[in-house]
Each structure stands twice: as C-alpha cells, then as structure tokens.
Structure 1
Amino acid sequence: MPDPDTAVLSVCTTCRAAGDTSEPRAGAKLLAALLAEAEREPVPGLTIEGAECLSVCKRPCTVAVVSPGRWTYVYGDFDALDDAEASARTLLAGLRRYIETPDGVVPWRERPEAFRKGVVARIPPHRKP
C-alpha cells in the first residue's frame, strides 16, 4: 500500500517559455532549481522528477503533483527564466502544505498566490470500486 504521506512532483522538462529558444529549456531549468532548493530545504515525503511532456504548452512552466488518496493538481505559469529559484521556493512551500492535508486540498487563503492563479486542473483521488 502506498504511503499516504508521500507525493510526487512531476516537472515538465520540455516546457519552453514564449519566444525562448535557449537550452536547456525553461522546464528543465525549473526542475534543476527545484532539486537544488529541495536539497537545501527538504520536503519530507516529496519526490521530484522530470516528465517528458505534460501537454500544457500554453501555460509553461507546468508541474503536476500526485499523492495516494489526495487530489492531483496541475499548475502552470511558473517563471523559470527570470527567477527559477523563487518559483522553486514557492512550489515547495505550497507542496509542504499539500502533504500536510489529508486530501490534498489546502484552504484557499493558505495557498501561495501562484497556486491560486496557476491551477490548470484538479483531479479527484482514485477510489477503488
């Protein structure tokens, strides 16, 4: 049985900011910033990994968080070009709150602003029939 106090953050590594042609792509830069920030300030139970594509190309940079028994969220619009480190800190702060909840639903006012404005999708937890 999966541990309910764990979560996986998938970061779209193919995300490219509008007009940006640099390599690595913005999504890969965000992943690197997240891994570095998590090294400095770990989030217990959180695994961070790259994903080839999350198909949210109009809202780069995009991430998805999934956890057993919790709602899954897809967030977009994270800045990985001008301030990837700030985006990483914001994401990890929000995910700390997410992991602390029994269902993944952080009260609206307790969510970082980037989570309130950047939500692309909210997917209900899988329930066994």
Structure 2
Amino acid sequence: MPEGQPEPVVLYVCTTCRAEGDGDGPRAGARLLASIEKALAETPVPGLRVEPVECLSVCKRPCTVAVAGADRWTYVYGDLDPEASAPTIIEGIRLYAGTADGLVPWRARPEAFRKGVIARIPPRASA
C-alpha cells in the first residue's frame, strides 16, 4: 500500500435481508445497499470497498452489514434501517478506518453500532 493511503476497508452488505412488510419490490437489504451507494457517491470514503453478499446468516436481525480490514477486528451489525442507516454506517466506517486494529471505543461508535453489534471477530492469526 502506498504511503499515505488508508488501508482498505470492506463493507459487506447483505442484499437478501428481508424486513417485515417487504412485498414484491426490492428486499430491505437491497434497499440498504442502494442507500449506502447513493450516500457514498455524494461523500466517498477513501479506501472503502462495498461488497454486496447474498446472505450473512443473521436473518432475525435485518438489515445486516459486516465491516472488515486486513489485520483488524471484523464487526457484524444488524437491526439497521434500510432507508435511514447509510449516514450512520458511513460514520462508523470512517471511525473504523481511522484505527490500526479496527477497535473503535464503544462510546465513540454511532448509537446504531453500539446497539446493533452482533459479533466481533478477531483478526486472522499470521502464519
């Protein structure tokens, strides 16, 4: 990674999350992805890659995302509003990207990330 460039961060967005009341239109997860992409088009986050995924297996807590980076803790968050959560997610990602290890102090996290945390997964051990 060139000096001065932020380490890449990946945001995985479950596109198959289904919210109560989802009808024949796009599922809540797909709507969340569209909302995030729209917000990022207006205010990009350097080094962020957004990856749609078919399922994060957290069906009881839609909408769900995961945030990961090399040598960082990975977080899984749920209970996100598909239309209103994009600014919160982006704020949380900016904080996460600003750390070397992915550990953002609990009180510094956006409220939706404090309440919606599902899992914290340690970085993969080096061989």
TM bin, normalised by shorter chain, reads over 0.9
Structure 2 matches for 1:48-59, cutoff 5 A? 48-59=50-61
State the distance in 2 between where 1:119 and 1:22 align: 29
RMSD: 1.4
Normalising by structure 1, what TM-score?
0.91
Confirm whether residue 27 of structure 1 aligns to residue 29 of structure 2: yes
Of 82, 102, 114, 2:100 maps to 102
State the distance in 2 between where 1:20 and 1:14 align: 11
Letter in 1 for 2:101: D
Confirm whether residue 18 of structure 1 aligns to residue 20 of structure 2: yes
Give structure 2 stretches of 5+ with no counterpart.
none
Q: Give runs of ≥4 in structure 1 deviating > 6 Å.
A: none
Letter in 2 for 1:15: C
The answer to whether the Cα contact below 8 Å between 2:6 and 2:47 also exists between their aligned partners in 1 is no
User: Any idea what SS the aligned residue of 1:14 has?
Assistant: coil
The answer to whether the Cα contact below 8 Å between 1:31 and 1:49 also exists between their aligned partners in 2 is no
State the distance in 2 between where 1:35 and 1:19 align: 23
Normalising by structure 2, what TM-score?
0.93
Letter in 2 for 1:106: V
Letter in 1 for 2:58: V
Cα distance, 1:109 vs. partner? 1.2
The answer to whether the Cα contact below 8 Å between 2:6 and 2:46 also exists between their aligned partners in 1 is no
Which protein has the bigger helix share?
1
Instruction: Give the share of equivalent positions with the same residue, in percent.
Output: 63
Cα distance, 1:4 vs. partner? 6.7
Give structure 1 stretches of 5+ with no counterpart.
none
The answer to whether the Cα contact below 8 Å between 1:77 and 1:118 also exists between their aligned partners in 2 is yes
- Count of residue correspondences: 124
Cα distance, 1:100 vs. partner? 0.2
Q: Which residue of 2 aligns with 1:46?
A: 48
Q: Which residue of 2 aligns with 1:126?
A: 124
Cα distance, 1:49 vs. partner? 1.8
